[in-house]
Structure 1
Amino acid sequence: MKIALPTRENYIDGHFGHCEYYTVFTIDDSSKEILSQEIIASPQGCGCKSNIATTLAEMGVSLLLAGNMGEGAVNVLSRSGIEVVRGCSGDVKEVALSWLAGSVMDSGEMCHAHEAGHECQH
């Protein structure tokens, strides 16, 4: 199994569409341990309108652990066969390990709020 995390400076990026890169962990399904880690460059532009969903799906990613994202991004990822868990924060490896331990749940929140200097691109 492979899981992806939108990343900025080794932490979950709070906004999927603007992350620096994606960290992809390959997980051993039986032992629930991380086997390897790779970095995927973030495409230019909005996450939901980029080719990142297709790229991740072609790599075998089936789960994305994210901070927050708009409904468009969730839908694009879902259509590519990638489950989305929102509401994650912290060090990407710690978040992945927490998910493997069963202690990470989807917040169900979509990105709607527009803070000063923050633009969601749905």
Structure 2
Amino acid sequence: MKIALPTRENLIDGHFGHCEYYTVFTIDDSSKEILNQETLASPAGCGCKSNIATTLADMGVSLLLAGNMGEGAVNVLSRSGIEVVRGCSGDVKEVALSWLAGAVMDSGEMCHAHEEGHECQH
């Protein structure tokens, strides 16, 4: 399986739609170990209005571990077959390892406004 994490300076980016890049880990399903790590450049524009959901799904990503994101982005990712877990923070590899150990749960929190003040639920 593959999991993706919106990343800025090797940390979970608090806002999915404005990350520098995505870190994608390939996981061995039986041993739950990380087999490979790659990065994917973030497309221009907000996450839910870009082609990132399709791109990640085409790469085989089935889970996105994120900080916060709007409902529109969650819906776009879900329609592409990607489960979303929100409320993550810290080093991307540590977050992935914590998820593999069963220590990461979805916060259920949605982002309601960008720092600039406009709505992020598209």
Verify same fold: TM over 0.5.
yes
Question: C-alpha deviations, 1:61-103, integer Å up to 9, x for none?
Answer: 0000000000000000000000000000000000000000000
Paired with 1:17 and 1:73, the residues of 2 have a C-alpha distance of 8
Report how far residue 114 of structure 1 moved. 4.8
Residues 31-65 of structure 1 deviation map (CA, whole Å, 9 limit, x = unaligned): 00000000000000010000000000000000000
TM score, norm. by length of structure 2 = 0.95
In structure 2, do the counterparts of structure 1 residues 50 and 115 end up closer, same or farther at CA, with 3 Å as the change threshold? closer
Is residue 4–residue 22 contact of structure 1 (8 Å, CA) maintained in 2?
yes
Deviation, structure 1 residue 120: 3.1
1:10 — aligned with what? 10
The answer for unaligned runs of 5 or more in structure 1 is none
Structure 2 portions without partners, runs of 5+ = none
Return the offset for 1:118: 7.7
Q: In 2, distance between residues paired with 1:99 and 1:9? A: 20
Aligned CA-pair RMSD: 1.5
Distance 1:118 1:20 in 2: 20
Percent identity for Structure 1 against Structure 2: 93
**Aligned residue pairs: how many?**
122
Moved over 6 A (4+): none
